[in-house]
């Protein structure tokens, strides 16, 4: 009896081993660095600290960068001068030269726009100037890479954290023309859906119901949505879509923090960091937030 049982166990183990060997290893299509809320500024040694992050990120051998907005510290406050806006963008361009060998696809953050320009005809006023500074084709757009479709949204509209009517139409059309099962990753500045916004006085897209319904119509395609804005890191899965709010590269805007910071430069319990995202041919997504100590 004992012998027979042993033989059965051994037989099963052999079956398991051969099954494991026959499962094809899922193939990675792309590795992307998601940096968000860089908030570049001349103070606090921020440029040099950013360079150190960059050296670290490069070691992950990424294919390209996604930049989630709030690239500069702030242009949106009423007291910001033209000179101050330019200083921040100039530093950013110098830093961008340090990794110019990588493509970068960016979206607009709420702090990137200079609304205090003398008038709305000023070449530096509003979104068009930021689109130019970031070298992107439009305030929203999409690109294709290795079988993956990337949609970059502009959250900065009425009821902040929302899409305007024009952008909704475009998004519906952009998703509608994709082939069945074509995997999609969406990047926005404000989170489309999140839990951490409850810990920071809001900041989630106000049109989340519309977005969830739209993605459900395309549930064979939409795999993940990544964002920033809150400077907190979380991950929510809803209807099979992974929504990742990926902290902030600048942490506490490069500053030491406040009494709610769990560590130096942290926002509440989220350290400063960046995210490495692996995208697979079968549509799987692995989102890894990596804290940095610079
Ligand atoms: Fe921010």
CA–centroid distance, 153 to ligand 1, in Å, is 16
As residues whose CB is below 5 A from the ion ligand 1, the structure lists 37, 70
Rounded to the nearest angstrom, the distance between the alpha carbon of 132 and the centre of ligand 1 is 20
**Residue 229 Cα to ligand 1 middle (Å):** 4
Domain-located, residue 214: yes
- Residue 2: band (very low, low, confident or very high) from pLDDT cuts 50, 70, 90: very low
**pTM of this prediction?**
0.92
Asked whether residue 66 is domain-assigned, the answer is yes
Question: Residue 15: inside a domain, yes or no?
Answer: no
Is residue 80 situated within a structural domain? yes
Domain range for residue 225? 25-291
Q: Which two tokens stand for residue 18?
A: 């051969």
159 part of a folded domain? yes
Q: What is the CATH number of the domain that holds 94?
A: 3.60.21.10
**37 C-alpha to ligand 1 centroid (Å):** 5
CA of 231 to the centre of ligand 1 (A): 6
Assigned domain for 9 exists:
no
Which pLDDT score is estimated for 8?
Answer: 45
Ligand 1 centroid to Cα of residue 166, in Å, is 25
Is residue 128, in this structure, part of any structural domain at all? yes
Order of strands across the sheet that contains 241-246: 141-145, 148-152, 184-187, 222-227, 241-246, 233-238
Residues with Cβ within 8 Å of 124's Cβ and at least 6 positions away in sequence, in order, are 82, 85, 114, 117
Q: What percent of the chain has pLDDT over 90?
A: 90
- The pLDDT value recorded for residue 19 is 52
Q: Give the pLDDT band of residue 25 (cuts 50, 70, 90).
A: confident
Ligand 1 centroid from CA 110, angstroms: 8
Mean per-residue pLDDT of the chain: 94
Q: How far is the CA of 154 from the centre of ligand 1 (A)?
A: 14
Query: What was the pLDDT predicted at 24?
Result: 67
State pLDDT tens for residues 55-97.
Answer: 999 999 999 999 999 999 999 999 999 999 999 999 999 999 9
Task: Report CA(70)–ligand 1 centroid distance (Å).
Answer: 5
Ligand 1 centroid, distance to 212 Cα (angstroms):
24
Q: Is residue 230 part of a domain?
A: yes
The DSSP 8-state label assigned to residue 199 in this structure reads G
Predicted confidence (pLDDT) per residue in 170-224, tens digit: 999 999 999 999 999 999 999 999 999 999 889 999 999 999 999 999 999 999 9
* pLDDT for 280 beyond 80: yes
Distance (Å) from CA 234 to ligand 1 centroid: 15
What spacing in Å lies between the alpha carbon of 16 and ligand 1's midpoint? Answer: 49
Count of domains forming the chain: 1
* pLDDT above 60: residue 20: no
CA distance 16 to 26: 19
Above 90 in pLDDT, residue 264? Answer: yes
- Does residue 40 surpass a pLDDT of 80? yes
């Amino acid at each position: 009896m004992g012998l027979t049982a042993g033989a059965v166990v051994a037989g099963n183990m052999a079956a398991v081993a051969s099954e494991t060997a026959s499962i094809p290893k899922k193939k990675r299509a792309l590795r992307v660095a998601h940096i968000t809320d860089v908030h570049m500024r001349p103070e606090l040694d921020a440029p040099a600290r950013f360079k150190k992050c960059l050296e670290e990120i490069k070691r992950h051998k990424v294919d390209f960068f996604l930049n989630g907005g709030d690239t500069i510290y702030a242009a949106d406050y009423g007291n910001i001068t033209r000179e101050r806006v330019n200083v921040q963008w100039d530093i950013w361009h110098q830093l961008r030269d340090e990794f110019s060998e990588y493509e970068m696809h960016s979206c607009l953050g709420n702090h990137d726009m200079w609304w205090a320009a003398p008038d709305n005809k000023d070449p530096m006023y509003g979104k068009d100037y930021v689109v130019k500074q970031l070298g992107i084709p439009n305030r929203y757009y999409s690109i294709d890479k290795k079988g993956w479709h990337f949609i970059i949204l502009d959250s900065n509209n009425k009821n902040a954290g929302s899409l305007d009517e024009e952008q909704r139409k475009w998004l519906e059309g952009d998703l509608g023309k994709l082939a069945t099962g074509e995997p999609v990753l969406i990047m926005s500045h404000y989170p489309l859906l999140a839990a951490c916004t409850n810990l920071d006085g809001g900041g989630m897209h106000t049109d989340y119901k519309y977005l969830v319904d739209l993605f459900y119509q395309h549930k064979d395609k939409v795999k993940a949505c990544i964002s920033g804005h809150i400077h907190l890191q979380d991950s929510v899965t809803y209807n099979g879509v992974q929504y990742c709010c990926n902290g902030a590269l600048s942490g506490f805007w490069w500053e030491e923090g406040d009494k709610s910071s769990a560590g130096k430069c942290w926002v509440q319990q989220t350290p400063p960091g960046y995210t490495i995202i692996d995208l697979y041919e079968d549509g799987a997504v692995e989102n890894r937030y990596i804290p940095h100590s610079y």
